[in-house]
Amino acid sequence: MLGKLLAKKKSSSPPEIGGESSSIFATFGKLVAKKKPPLLGIDISASSVKVLELSMSGEHYRVERYAVEPMPQNAMVEHSITEVEQVAAAMGRAVKRSGSRLKHVALAVPGSHVISKVLAMPMGLSDRDLQTQIEMEADRHIPYPLDEVNMDFYVLGPTSEGSDQVNVLLAACRKEIVDDYVAVAEGAGLTPLVVDIETYAIENAYSLIARNMAGGGMEKTVVLMDVGATTTTINVMHNNRSVYTRDHTFGGRQLTEEIQRRYGLSYEEAGLAKKQGGLPDNYQTDVLRPFMEAMCQEIMRALQFFYSSSPFNSVDQILLAGGCSQIPGIEELVSARVGVPAVVANPFSIMSLASRIKPQMLSADAPSLMISCGLALRGFEQ
């Protein structure tokens, strides 16, 4: 766990890695027991707290419970929790609304708070020697004293065919960031067992979507565009592995604030009106359509950044996630403007649903639940 459990001095055991993805994380359950408890996946964003409980039978997942609870305005600013008590209260309300009785949870910190570096290390080192080498290297690459960060690492594989070195992915996060997330969960009466990185949680959920793609997603370059309240995150998957990620300052809060300004509503009223409707007839043409066009421009800009900083010059598909992907018709407009097929992400399309879950409502919320889904899946990994 990036937090209490990962520190400058790690145990001699290698970190636990998630399923089919290369995600970096560790869990308390793995370190102290043979069987891990089920995990409640909880995503904390600037606009809401998303809670998701999954179950598993054989190789099939089922959605048991979920809930989305609005976040108090400015309780989270620039990817940082500013009001721990308010966020904890929102998390408590979300868990209560979901009806889940799980107490062990998985959380994720934004990638912007994480320093990651791929290091080349000699092959064949023992766990202890590898750990020592990485700690020596980390002191060079992390711009903070090591006693102020929590870090983890994962052996990716040989640097090249026949090489006597391996690539090791190092990730580090400042303790004060992780401590806030831990404090929020504990303030809500929960026990955090996993603190992941949002990028890897999304990659974990994406693995479910890739199963429905031709060839299981292999030989494909897929862009997952998560357009949230304040930030748009581009996460490019190639052969089902994340090869590029970047945050852009653009999100649904701009639409909410324009509704607020145009129609003289409070921020909370504007947010409800955006979701529930009831706005004047000119809303579609004067407010929503310009925002949709701006969203397309932002996606094209994000893709240009990707092309200019990578060996790729094209992508096969765009998956839209986040609250803004729920705008009716947005995938058609993105496809037309960007020139790449776009669909709305739904990691639950191959899952069964508990009787209490309303399929239409889950389908509408699905693109906003990618991170919480990826986190909930952590409880089933060996």
Confidence at residue 382, expressed as pLDDT on a 0 to 100 scale? 65
Q: Which domains does the chain have, with CATH numbers?
A: 28-115+174-200+370-380 (3.30.420.40), 213-346 (3.30.420.40)
What is the rounded distance in angstroms from the CA atom of residue 61 to the CA atom of residue 190? 23
β 165-174/149-158 pair status: antiparallel
- Whole-number pLDDT of residue 21: 37
Q: What contacts 106, CB < 8 A, 6 or more positions away?
A: 39, 40, 41, 42, 192, 193, 194, 195, 196, 375, 376, 378, 379
Count Cβ atoms below 10 Å from residue 290 Cβ, excluding itself.
Answer: 12
Triad 123, 127, 121: Cα angle to 5°: 30
Which of 226, 229, 224, 225 has its CA nearest to residue 208?
A: 224
User: Which two three-digit tokens encode residue 216?
Assistant: 């299981």
> By C-alpha distance, which of 188, 189, 281, 203 is closest to 240?
203
Q: What is the pLDDT along the chain (382 residues), one digit of tens a residue?
A: 443 333 333 333 333 333 333 344 443 333 333 456 789 999 999 889 999 999 998 889 999 999 999 998 889 888 899 999 999 999 999 999 999 999 999 999 998 899 888 888 998 888 888 888 888 888 888 888 888 998 888 888 888 777 889 988 888 999 999 999 999 999 999 999 999 999 889 999 999 999 989 899 999 999 999 999 889 999 999 999 889 999 999 999 999 999 999 999 998 899 889 988 889 999 999 999 999 999 999 999 999 999 999 999 999 999 999 999 999 999 999 999 999 999 999 999 999 999 999 999 999 999 999 999 999 999 987 6
Full strand arrangement of the beta sheet holding 104-109? 191-197, 104-109, 40-44, 48-57, 60-70, 352-353
Tokens standing for 4? 């209490």
Q: Could you give the C-alpha distances from 218 to 48, 58, 178, 210, in angstroms and in order?
A: 33, 24, 34, 8
Instruction: Give the pLDDT of residue 13.
Output: 33
Contact indicator for 47, 323 with CB cutoff of 8 Å: yes
Q: Supply φ then ψ for residue 281, to 5 degrees.
A: -60, -30
